[in-house]
Structure 1
Amino acid sequence: MNTPRTAPVSGHPTDDLDIPDAGRRRTILIAVCIALMAVIASVSGLNVAQPDLAVAFDASQSTVLWIINIYTLTLAALLLPLGALGDRLGRKPMLVTGLIVFGIASAAAGLAHSSEIMLIARVLSGVGAAMIMPITLAVITSTFPPDERGRAIGVWTGVAGGGGILGMFLSAALVDLASWRWLFVLPVALVLIALTMVLRSVPDSREKSAHPFDLVGALTSIVAVIGLIFVLQEGPVRGWTAPTTLAGLTAGVLATIAFVAWELRRRDAALLDVRLFGERSLAGGSLTLLAVFGVQAGIFVVLFPFFQAVLGWSGLLSTLALMPMAILMMIASGLASQISARIGPRATMSIGILLAGAGLAVMALLVSVSGGYLAILPGMLAMGFGMGLSMTPSTEAITSTLPQSRQGVASALNDVTREFGTALGVALLGALLSSGYRTAIDGRLTNIPQAPAGAAREGIANALNAANHAGPQAQPLIHAAQQSFVEGWQQAMWAGVAVMAALFIYCAATFRGRRESTR
């Protein structure tokens, strides 16, 4: 077995590893991408089955949301500690263990007959996913030679970016054709395939550290991530000034301060050397991923109700409508490394951000109730291609900053940044959509009966349901809700354009990505 030798504990990734042959490298890349796909698909898959879960478990909407969100919360909280443990204990053993835990938990979720069992299964799925996700990227960065590493990372980022949409489409198809329980057949099948390939092909690599594991850093990072993501998930539901929300914010902020203070004292023994954020490549890559995934997630919050409530499409057709954007995103992620080699990662990233922002602007300008899907498709395509171009150099900027022996931590940092961006984008752009909708619809309800009008103010889905009881005012109510949604959409889109514009200026002016050397 060709096993990479351990690199020094400090410095940039070394390139004197025992590299597996080309055929085995392809197998390794396929194996880790299949494992990643299982994790990504499970993030978004249950979103299409919310009504089915409520009926199956006689559960409230709050419980259903927790069944969905607890997985993401557990995954994000454990990424950094488990990524660091993978560096120490061995990346292959950690990946194999994670696949086993994730597969068993997914099977248990599919067989669950109560919301309590489902919640436990989803927590365990999050634990397994946190063992898998950072290691998949760490295996790539510690196994592939420098001249192939960028292309391999591009494939990984394509799966990470577009895999969620593909997972939602497959999930919607399974719900429509069979049952929500079949949603968990997909991740179990992917786990079995990935586990077989990992055991046969993936080499082991690990860090030999003279320092004990940073337990205090691990614990404070877990509390910080749980607190901050809890606020972003629950703030729109419970209210931003609710006691529970404020308690989560306080815990998250205090734990973050404690984590940074502790890590600055630990220096060489730190779980994550926070001083590295002073390097432009790491700061720029992290900020880009945070913004790109935030805008992407926020856009999905807008697109789905547009397809379903304005265009009247089913969940399956709505997810199918996102596939062109997902495919272009995956293609662009694969091409990004080749483009970076010619014009540099900073230029590649900047062009991607510019394209994504232009796509958002096109959607904001052209969207209308009567315009339909074709009016927004050009903007979706530009956004997908632009985001794909920006993801690969951003990920490379993060992984190249930390040494070879700390690639589990580098990969975990990349993943935590993505999860924070996603939660932030859903919270902020979703809030802008909601506030824009309420502001717009208030002036359109003057002739609508009081009860349907009150329901319509809560959201477009409520308005469509209330139209059944609005008598002759049903069609005006539907039109008012749809037009108000479009105005709320435009408000959210222009906010996304502003974020992309600010990010473009920052990256174009300050970011210095590392050019790969093939010598």
Structure 2
Amino acid sequence: MNTPRTAQVSGHTGDSPALPGAAQRRTILIAVCIALMAVIASVSGLNVAQPDLAVAFDASQSTILWIINIYTLTLAALLLPLGALGDRLGRKPMLVVGLLVFGIASAAAGLAQSSEVMLAARVLSGVGAAMIMPITLAVITSTFPEEERGRAIGVWTGVAGGGGILGMFLSAALVDLASWRWLFVLPVVLVLIALIMVLRSVPDSREKSGHPFDLVGALTSILAIVGLIFVLQEGPVQGWTAPATVAGLIAGLLATIAFVAWELRRRDAALLDVRLFAERPLASGSLTLLAVFGVQAGIFVVLFPFFQAVLGWSGLLSTLALMPMAILMMIASGLAPQLAARIGPRATISTGILLAGAGLAAMALMVSVSGGYPSLLPGMLAMGFGMGLSMTPSTQAITTTLPQSRQGVASALNDVTREFGTALGVALLGALLSSGYRTAINPRLTDIPPAPASSAREGIANALNAANQAGPQSQSLIHAAQQSFVEGWQQAMWAGVFVMAALLLIVTLTGRHQPNTP
């Protein structure tokens, strides 16, 4: 059994520290959600500014992708160690320092004059984000009473799920109306607001432990996450059999094995007690978040090219088209705790998974070049509502499986699962779309001149750029590329349906998905 630990809230004494009042709890929830929004918006915001960054820094596409991806890689790698440190050193100090680091790094990125400075600023932003993200959820679970905790987690989950789309919309608006440098004004403003509210309203809480910090576990977890996410990010770019990809996979797997073996030996003083994955709520909650966020991220990868290349929309309009799904996801995340109280967490998660799978199937069946946005909207709405229903009880299952004194680690585990799912979904569904597109377009290029035909095989954007070289066949090439993209899209959608069906079966068969008593 684990050595008992006690969580202490500053300013209070005794075994059951007093919780903040209702008004203060509302302020705390708003503060941590604003801080979370700053982190989430920075994950996806730079995607809309790739051409502008390439021109500003005279950088290659590979460098631009690293500027975007290094933030996510740093964030994911440091979540577990910094979440555990937050439990020990105090959640409020860790959150305050994280906000300061993140705000300074965001300002430096906005002022950067070279790609090297930008890369360094993005790494520092990832460090600050890893200090913020797990602590925001840990603050909720340590300050809200049990009867209100589910609703508060629902709000947090809604921001985490829909905040990325809202951040992309605001980023696209800033790029279209001003400059890519204004992308970093948004997180700086959010950080300043959150910092003021945190200093005024968030109480400090920390773990009292008789064991030293698990440094070996922290280092092996960092190596494992860096190796595996590097593979998922670079595999589609460099190739799955490229030396760097294979080396990353080997390093990630070996570090994962070392981490598990070390944590099993540490037992009472482990960074993360891996034996807890035998608990059904933790295992099912983690698997659900992995699959849901993976499918969600993968779908975004295929939605944007459809809006921009098939429908011919701008980046701003394309992002605006995602807002109905994001809003419904946030609403469903807030409703999920009430539904879980009525029908149970497992039934709520299963309903969400079923709706998300139905939405994916609807998009696969209804999407067409001529159907446009209306052919997608019903499926997008069903998917958004279903994912919102499944995310909140899954997050609550993870946080309630670990003890109250380890909520920084529990929150970090929740966040690491989300980041892994996102990287996995982008890599796999993006690869399925590309492969389906190439398979579908080859038979349609028989009458197209060799040069534009060769470009068209690389992707729909290349096909549209090469259409003016096809002479009288230009319209045929455009139609072929658009139709082939839709067929590749359908292949990716059906893969998402398969993932949701498998997940539904697993959740249904693993017994009651009722979170443990905290």
Q: Which category of TM-score, normalised to the shorter sequence, fits these structures?
A: over 0.9
What's the CA shift string for 1:140-167, capped at 9, x where partnerless? 0000000000000000000000000000
Checking the alignment, whether the CA contact within 8 Å between 1:397 and 1:514 is kept in structure 2 is: yes
Taking structure 2 as the reference length, the TM-score comes to 0.97
Checking the alignment, whether the CA contact within 8 Å between 2:154 and 2:333 is kept in structure 1 is: yes
- Code of the residue aligned with 2:198 in structure 1: it is V
- Code of the residue aligned with 1:427 in structure 2: it is A
Aligned residue in 2 for 1:252: 252
Checking the alignment, whether the CA contact within 8 Å between 1:354 and 1:501 is kept in structure 2 is: yes
CA 1:217–1:161 in 2, change beyond 3 Å: closer, same or farther? same
What's the CA shift string for 1:256-275, capped at 9, x where partnerless? 00000000000010000000
- Code of the residue aligned with 1:114 in structure 2: it is S
CA 1:503–1:15 in 2, change beyond 3 Å: closer, same or farther? farther
CA 1:163–1:15 in 2, change beyond 3 Å: closer, same or farther? farther
Aligned residue in 2 for 1:110: 110
CA 1:169–1:511 in 2, change beyond 3 Å: closer, same or farther? farther
What's the CA shift string for 1:256-311, capped at 9, x where partnerless? 00000000000010000000000000000000000000000000011000000000
What's the CA shift string for 1:37-61, capped at 9, x where partnerless? 0000000000000000000000000
- Please say if 1:232 is aligned against 2:219: no
Structure-1 separation of matches of 2:182 and 2:297: 25
Aligned residue in 1 for 2:142: 142
Structure-2 separation of matches of 1:514 and 1:147: 15
Any residues of structure 2 matched to 1:419-458 within 5 Å, and which? 419-458=419-458
Kindly state the Cα deviation for residue 515 of structure 1 after the two structures are TM-superposed. 5.7
Aligned residue in 1 for 2:11: none
Structure-2 separation of matches of 1:183 and 1:105: 13
Structure-2 separation of matches of 1:92 and 1:514: 30
- Please say if 1:263 is aligned against 2:263: yes
Kindly state the Cα deviation for residue 513 of structure 1 after the two structures are TM-superposed. 2.6
Structure-1 separation of matches of 2:383 and 2:120: 37
Checking the alignment, whether the CA contact within 8 Å between 2:361 and 2:493 is kept in structure 1 is: yes
Runs of 4+ in 1 over 4 A off after TM superposition: 515-518
Aligned residue in 2 for 1:52: 52
In terms of mean alpha carbon deviation, does 462-471 or 478-487 score higher? 462-471
Kindly state the Cα deviation for residue 509 of structure 1 after the two structures are TM-superposed. 1.5
Aligned partner of residue 7 in structure 1, secondary structure: strand
Aligned partner of residue 23 in structure 2, secondary structure: helix
Checking the alignment, whether the CA contact within 8 Å between 1:15 and 1:145 is kept in structure 2 is: no
Aligned residue in 2 for 1:316: 316
Checking the alignment, whether the CA contact within 8 Å between 1:74 and 1:126 is kept in structure 2 is: yes
Aligned residue in 2 for 1:80: 80
Structure-2 separation of matches of 1:501 and 1:201: 43
Checking the alignment, whether the CA contact within 8 Å between 2:49 and 2:180 is kept in structure 1 is: yes
Structure-2 separation of matches of 1:283 and 1:191: 33
Checking the alignment, whether the CA contact within 8 Å between 1:341 and 1:516 is kept in structure 2 is: no
Structure-1 separation of matches of 2:508 and 2:142: 29
Structure-2 separation of matches of 1:273 and 1:174: 44
Checking the alignment, whether the CA contact within 8 Å between 1:37 and 1:160 is kept in structure 2 is: yes
Structure-2 separation of matches of 1:67 and 1:376: 32
Any residues of structure 2 matched to 1:50-449 within 5 Å, and which? 50-449=50-449
Structure-1 separation of matches of 2:31 and 2:165: 20
**Count of paired positions:** 509
Aligned residue in 2 for 1:20: 20
Aligned residue in 2 for 1:11: none
Aligned partner of residue 203 in structure 1, secondary structure: coil
Kindly state the Cα deviation for residue 15 of structure 1 after the two structures are TM-superposed. 10
Structure-2 separation of matches of 1:413 and 1:517: 18
Checking the alignment, whether the CA contact within 8 Å between 2:397 and 2:516 is kept in structure 1 is: no
Checking the alignment, whether the CA contact within 8 Å between 2:36 and 2:136 is kept in structure 1 is: yes
Kindly state the Cα deviation for residue 16 of structure 1 after the two structures are TM-superposed. 3.9
Checking the alignment, whether the CA contact within 8 Å between 2:7 and 2:205 is kept in structure 1 is: no
What's the CA shift string for 1:484-510, capped at 9, x where partnerless? 000000000000000000000111111
Structure-2 separation of matches of 1:363 and 1:6: 49
Structure-1 separation of matches of 2:138 and 2:517: 20
What's the CA shift string for 1:231-279, capped at 9, x where partnerless? 0000000000000000000000000000000000000100000000000
Kindly state the Cα deviation for residue 347 of structure 1 after the two structures are TM-superposed. 0.2
CA 1:70–1:429 in 2, change beyond 3 Å: closer, same or farther? same
Kindly state the Cα deviation for residue 205 of structure 1 after the two structures are TM-superposed. 0.3
Checking the alignment, whether the CA contact within 8 Å between 2:400 and 2:515 is kept in structure 1 is: no
Aligned partner of residue 59 in structure 1, secondary structure: coil
Q: Percent identity?
A: 87
Aligned partner of residue 206 in structure 1, secondary structure: strand
- Please say if 1:466 is aligned against 2:466: yes
Kindly state the Cα deviation for residue 471 of structure 1 after the two structures are TM-superposed. 1.0
Kindly state the Cα deviation for residue 512 of structure 1 after the two structures are TM-superposed. 2.8
Kindly state the Cα deviation for residue 320 of structure 1 after the two structures are TM-superposed. 0.0
| Structure 1: tracts of 5 or more residues without a match | 9-13
Structure-2 separation of matches of 1:511 and 1:144: 28
Structure-2 separation of matches of 1:468 and 1:460: 14
Kindly state the Cα deviation for residue 516 of structure 1 after the two structures are TM-superposed. 8.3
Structure-1 separation of matches of 2:376 and 2:184: 32
Checking the alignment, whether the CA contact within 8 Å between 1:150 and 1:337 is kept in structure 2 is: yes
CA 1:161–1:511 in 2, change beyond 3 Å: closer, same or farther? farther
CA 1:495–1:245 in 2, change beyond 3 Å: closer, same or farther? same
Checking the alignment, whether the CA contact within 8 Å between 1:71 and 1:123 is kept in structure 2 is: yes
Aligned partner of residue 444 in structure 1, secondary structure: helix
In terms of mean alpha carbon deviation, does 503-512 or 120-129 score higher? 503-512
- Code of the residue aligned with 1:468 in structure 2: it is N
| CA RMSD after TM alignment | 1.3
Checking the alignment, whether the CA contact within 8 Å between 2:272 and 2:409 is kept in structure 1 is: yes
- Code of the residue aligned with 1:116 in structure 2: it is E
Aligned residue in 1 for 2:502: 502
Structure-2 separation of matches of 1:136 and 1:298: 26
